[in-house]
Structure 1
Amino acid sequence: MERVRELSEQRGARDVSELPKAHLHLHFTGSMRPATLLELADKYGVRLPDALTEALLGGEPPRLRATDERGWFRFQRLYDAARACLREPEDIRRLVREAAEEDIRDGSRWLEIQVDPTSYAPRLGGLIPALEIILDAVDSARRETGLHMRVLVAANRMKHPLDARTLARLAVRYADRGVVGFGLSNDERRGMARDFDRAFAIAREGGLLSAPHGGELNGPPSVRDCLDDLHANRLGHGVRAAEDPRLLHRLAERGVTCEVCPASNVALGVYEKPEDVPLRTLYEAGVPMALGADDPLLFGSRLAAQYEIARRHHGFTDEELAELARQSVRGSAAPQDVRAGLLADIDAWLAAPPSGAPGRTPLPASRL
Structure 2
Amino acid sequence: MSALPKVELHLHLEGAAPPSFIAGLAKEKNLDISGIFDARGQYRFTDFSHFLKVYEAATSALQTPEDYARLTRTVLEESAQSGVVYSETFLSPDFCGGREVGAWREYLHAMREAADQAERQMGITLRGIVTCIRHFGPEKARETALCAAETAGDWIVGFGIAGDERIGAPKDFRWAFDCAREAGLRLTAHAGEWGGPDSVRAAVRDLGVERIGHGVRAIEDLALVDELAEKGIVLEVCPGSNVALGLYRSFRDHPIHELDRRGVKVTVSTDDPPFFHTTMAREYEELHRALDWDEGQFRRIARQSLDAAFCDADTRARIGKLLEV
TM-score (norm 2): 0.93
Q: 2: distance between equivalents of 1:92 and 1:138?
A: 6
- 2:306 maps to 1:333: no
Partner of 2:265, secondary structure, is coil
Q: 2: distance between equivalents of 1:64 and 1:319?
A: 37
- 2:276 maps to 1:294: no
- 2:118 maps to 1:142: no
Residue of structure 2 in register with 1:202 after alignment: 179
Of 64, 72, 79, 1:96 maps to 72
- 2:53 maps to 1:77: yes
List aligned pairs for 1:168-317, cutoff 5 A. Answer: 168-176=145-153, 178-317=155-294
- AA aligned to 1:35 is S
Q: 1: distance between equivalents of 2:13 and 2:103?
A: 13
- AA aligned to 1:281 is E
Q: 1: distance between equivalents of 2:96 and 2:114?
A: 19
Q: 1: distance between equivalents of 2:311 and 2:209?
A: 17
Residue of structure 2 in register with 1:28 after alignment: 13
- AA aligned to 1:80 is E
Q: CA-atom RMSD, angstroms?
A: 1.8
Deviates more, 1:174-183 or 1:90-99: 174-183
- AA aligned to 1:52 is F
Contact between 1:158 and 1:186, CA under 8 Å: does it hold in 2?
yes
CA deviations on 1:8-56 (whole Å, 9 max, x unpaired) are xxxxxxxx2222222111112111122211211211122224352424x
Contact between 2:45 and 2:54, CA under 8 Å: does it hold in 1?
no
Contact between 1:135 and 1:178, CA under 8 Å: does it hold in 2?
no
Offset of 1:290 from its aligned partner?
Answer: 2.0
Unpaired segments ≥5 residues, structure 1: 1-15, 67-71, 349-368
Of 92, 96, 102, 1:120 maps to 96
Unpaired segments ≥5 residues, structure 2: none
Q: 1: distance between equivalents of 2:297 and 2:153?
A: 35
Deviates more, 1:82-91 or 1:45-54: 45-54
Partner of 1:119, secondary structure, is coil
Offset of 1:315 from its aligned partner?
Answer: 1.2
Residue of structure 2 in register with 1:86 after alignment: 62
Residue of structure 2 in register with 1:64 after alignment: 46
Contact between 1:62 and 1:299, CA under 8 Å: does it hold in 2?
no
Partner of 1:236, secondary structure, is strand
Partner of 2:10, secondary structure, is strand
Partner of 2:63, secondary structure, is coil
Q: 1: distance between equivalents of 2:134 and 2:86?
A: 27
Residue of structure 2 in register with 1:37 after alignment: 22
Residue of structure 1 in register with 2:3 after alignment: 18
- AA aligned to 1:144 is Q
Contact between 1:194 and 1:229, CA under 8 Å: does it hold in 2?
yes
1:131/1:304 Cα in 2 relative to 1: closer, same or farther (>3 Å)? Answer: farther
Aligned residue-pair number: 321
Partner of 1:296, secondary structure, is coil
Contact between 1:63 and 1:267, CA under 8 Å: does it hold in 2?
no
Q: 2: distance between equivalents of 1:249 and 1:233?
A: 15
Offset of 1:61 from its aligned partner?
Answer: 5.2
Offset of 1:177 from its aligned partner?
Answer: 6.0
Q: 1: distance between equivalents of 2:156 and 2:114?
A: 15
Contact between 1:19 and 1:325, CA under 8 Å: does it hold in 2?
no
Identity of aligned residues (%): 35
Contact between 2:36 and 2:58, CA under 8 Å: does it hold in 1?
no
Q: 2: distance between equivalents of 1:25 and 1:173?
A: 23
1:337/1:88 Cα in 2 relative to 1: closer, same or farther (>3 Å)? Answer: closer
Offset of 1:204 from its aligned partner?
Answer: 1.2
